[in-house]
Structure 1
Amino acid sequence: MHRVTLVFILFLLIPDLYIYLVYVIRKTRKAFLRGLHWLPTLLLAAGYVYFMFLTGDNAMSNHTQAIGRLAITIMLFVFPKTIFMLCSLVGVLAHFIIRRCPRSPFTAIGAVLAIISFLNILYGTFAGITRFDIKEVEYCSADIPKGFDGYRIVQLSDIHIGSWQGNPEAIKQLVDLVNRQKPDLIVFTGDLV
C-alpha cells in the first residue's frame, strides 16, 4: 500500500509542481491565486488519504462507489495536467535543441490536448458509461467440434456496475441487450465493480 501511495503522490504532484514553477509563478503575483492552484491537489490527496487509511481495514470493498468517484476526479485533474506538462516539456526540449524553435506552439497544443482529455473523461463518466458496444466476432477452426457450430458466447467486460447504483435502468438495458444476443454462454471478464 505504501508503494501505491508513493506513486500516487508523485503522479499527483509532478505535473502540478511543473505547472506551478513554469507558469503560475511567472504569470501570477498574488499569493492567494498561487495558493488556489494547489487546492484541487490538496483535496484529491485528502480524499485519497481518507479512503485508503481512515475508513477501516477494507476501504476498497466498503466504499467502492466513493473510491470510483475519487478515481474519476483524479483522472479529470491529473491526466490533463500531465498531458499539458509533457507537451510543454517537448517544447522546452525542442527550444533547447533548436534555439529558433518557439515553445508557445507546444504549450498551445498541450492546452488543447488537456482540454480534450478533460472533456473526454467527463463524457465517459456521464454519457459513455451507458453506451454499450456490441462487437460480433465469428471464430472458425477445424479444432472445434461440429457440435459447437453456431454456439454463441457473450462476453461482458468493463461494466463498472458499482457506478450504476443510482441507475437501475442502465442495468435493465444491459440485461435486455445481452438477452437479445441469444447466448449459449455468458462470460464476465474484467472490471465488474
Structure 2
Amino acid sequence: MGLRLLFFCLFLLVIEIYAYQAVKTLIKLRWMLLAYSVISLLLLVFILYSFTQFDRSVGQTHKTMFTMGLMLVVYLPKIVMTVILLGEDVFRLAAGSINYFIDNNSKVDFLPSRRKFVSQIGLGLASIPFLSLIYGIFEGRYNYKVIKQAIYFPDLPDAFNGFTITQISDVHSGSFDNPEKISYAIDLVNEQNSNMILFTGDIVNTHAKEMDPWIDTFNKIKKHEYGKFSVLGNHDYGEYVTWPTQSAKDENFEDIKKLYGQIGFQLLLNEHTFIEKDGDKIALVGVENWGKNFKQAGDLKKASEHLSKEDFKILMTHDPSHWNEVVQHDDKHFQLTLSGHTHGMQFGIEIPGFFKWSLAQYVYKQWAGLYENVGRYVYVNRGFGFHAYPGRVGIMPEITVIQLIKGEKLA
C-alpha cells in the first residue's frame, strides 16, 4: 500500500510539473502563476484528504462522488497537457542529442527551448475533457435518451411479431439528487407504451435504504400488459462495503430483493416464466448476477431447466460478460439476452451508425448496444443512473425499446 501511494504521489507530481510548464509559457504575470500554484495545491490536498476519509462501512456517498468528479475535472486535462509536453520533450531530447553528438555543435544549447505553440496546443486539447466533464456533471447525467432497436428472429412465435420491450438497467438510486429529472425519466418510460418492461439490475449502489426516497417515483411506472420483471445486479449484493456482521449484510440483501417488488417488478432468481400471447409463448429467463470479474451467483442451468433449444427464450443477466463467456455458447440457444452493467463507462464518443468508442470496450467485448453471434443476440443497456463519476459524457443514460420482429433482416 505504501509503495503504491508513493508511485501515485510521484505520478501526480509529474503531472503538476508539466501542467505548470504549459501554463508558464502562456502566463507571464507572477501573481497569476502564484495563484495557479496555490489553487492547484489546495485542490490536491482536498482530493487526497477526501480519499483518506472514505468509509468502507458506508461506501459511495454524494461527497465521494463529488471528490471523484473534481479529481477527473482537475487531472484529466492536466494528463492531456502532460502527454503533449512529454512528447515534445522526447523530440527536444532527440534534437539536442543530434546537435551535440552528431553535429558536434557545442555552441547550441543541448536542450532546445520549449515551444510556445506546443503548450498552446496542449492547453487547447486539455480544454476538451475539462469542458466535457463539467457538462457531464451538470447536464449529461440526466440527459436521458430513448433508443429503439428492432431485432429479427426467424423462429419468433407468430403472435410475438412486433412485440415491444422496454429495458432499464443500473438505476443506482443512491446517486440521485434531482427528483424532477427522475420523474421526467419515468414519464419517458411510460410514454413508450411497450408490451412488457424489464429491469436488468443494480437498483442501488449498496444499501437498500438508498431507494427509500425514490420508491413512490418508480411506482409511477405503469403496469405493462405482459408484466414487469427484473433481475439482480452486482451492486445489489452489498459486496463493496465492510459490514459489521454477516447478518447485517444478509438483511440488507433481503431488503434489496424486496425493493423490486415494492416498485411492482417480479424478481426472477435463477428461474424462468412463460409469457403467453394469442396461443403462443416465449420463455423469460432471469439469472442472478454472473460476472467474469464480479460475483457469480447466476445459475443458467437451473434457470433454464426443462426449456429446450426450440423454445424462444429471452434471458436477463446483468453483466454482459456472462453472454460472452457462457450464454452465446450454450446448447439451448438463447435467442436474446438483455444486460447492462458497463454504463459505457459513462464517458465516450458515439455517433449513431458511424462511430462508437469508450474505455469500456477495453474491458468488455460487448459494452453498449446490440451484438450478434450466429443468430444469438445480446443488447447492453448503457444504464439509467450513474456511479462513481457523477456525470455522463458522450454515453448518455438510456431507456431502451426493443421490438421483436419475425423473419430475416434485409441487408
- Which range, TM-score by smaller chain? 0.7 to 0.9
Paired residues of 1:153 and 1:186 also in contact (CA < 8 A): yes
CA contact (8 A) 2:23 2:119 kept: no
The alpha-carbon deviation at position 106 of structure 1 amounts to 2.6
User: Structure 1 regions of 5+ residues with no counterpart?
Assistant: none
Q: How far apart, CA to CA, are the structure 1 residues paired with 2:182 and 2:36?
A: 44
1:152 aligns with 2:142: no
Q: CA deviation at 1:124?
A: 0.9
Q: Distance in 2 between matches of 1:187 and 1:130?
A: 18
By how many angstroms is 1:17 displaced?
Answer: 4.0
Structure 1 residue corresponding to 2:44, chosen from 26, 41, 46: 41
What does residue range 63-82 of structure 1 map to in structure 2 within 5 Å?
63-82=60-79
Deviations 1:30-61 (A, max 9, x none): 8965851322111111111112xxx3x4231x
**Contact 1:94-1:101 within 8 A present in 2 as well:** no
**What's 1:16 paired with?**
16
Q: Deviation at 1:148?
A: 3.4
Q: Does 1:111 align with 2:108?
A: no
Q: 1:85-104 residue pairs with structure 2 within 5 A?
A: 85-97=82-94, 103-104=115-116
User: How far apart, CA to CA, are the structure 2 residues paired with 1:67 and 1:34?
Assistant: 25
The percent identity for this pair of structures is: 27
The runs of 5 or more residues in structure 2 that have no matched partner are: 97-111, 201-339, 344-384, 388-411
Aligned equivalent of 1:83: 80
More off after superposition, 167-176 vs 126-135: 126-135
TM-score scaled by length of structure 2: 0.38
Counterparts of 1:69 and 1:160 in 2: how far apart (Å)? 16
Higher relative contact order, chain-length normalized (CA < 8 Å, sep 6+): 2
| Cα pair distance change 1:134/1:125, threshold 3 Å | same
Considering only CA atoms, is the larger Rg found in Structure 1 or Structure 2? 2
- The Cα shift of 1:24 comes to 7.2
> What SS does the corresponding residue of 1:150 show, helix, strand or coil?
coil
Give yes or no for contact 2:88–2:118 (8 Å, CA) kept in 1: yes
Deviation at 1:91, TM superposition (A): 2.1
Structure 1 Cα separation of the partners of residues 156 and 182 of structure 2: 33
What CA deviation, in whole Å up to 9, does each residue of 1:4-46 have, x standing for no partner? x7476566444124335x4578978789658513221111111
The C-alpha deviation readout for 1:128-158, integer Å capped at 9, x for no partner, is 2221112211111224443432232333356
User: Quick check: 1:87–1:110 contact (8 Å CA) kept in 2?
Assistant: yes
Amino acid of the residue matched to residue 94 of structure 1?
A: F
- C-alpha displacement at 1:181, in angstroms? 1.4
Deviation per residue, 1:73-124 (Å, 9 max, x gap): 1111010110111111122223344579974333211101212211111111
SS in 2 for 1:137: strand
| CA distance in structure 2 between the aligned counterparts of 1:102 and 1:42, rounded to whole angstroms | 29
CA distance in 2, matches of 1:82, 1:137: 37
CA distance in 2: counterparts of 1:102 and 1:131, whole angstroms: 42
The residue that corresponds to 1:176 in the other structure is 187
Output the CA distance in 1 between the equivalents of 2:150 and 2:115.
50
Q: Which structure has the highest strand share of the two?
A: 2
Distance 1:126 1:11 in 2: 29
Decide which of 139, 144, 147 is 1:127's aligned counterpart.
139
| SS of aligned partner of 2:85 | helix
Give, as a single letter, the amino acid of the residue that structure 2 aligns with 1:152.
T
SS in 2 for 1:169: helix
User: 1:180 deviation in Å?
Assistant: 1.1
Q: How many residues end up aligned between the 2 structures?
A: 183
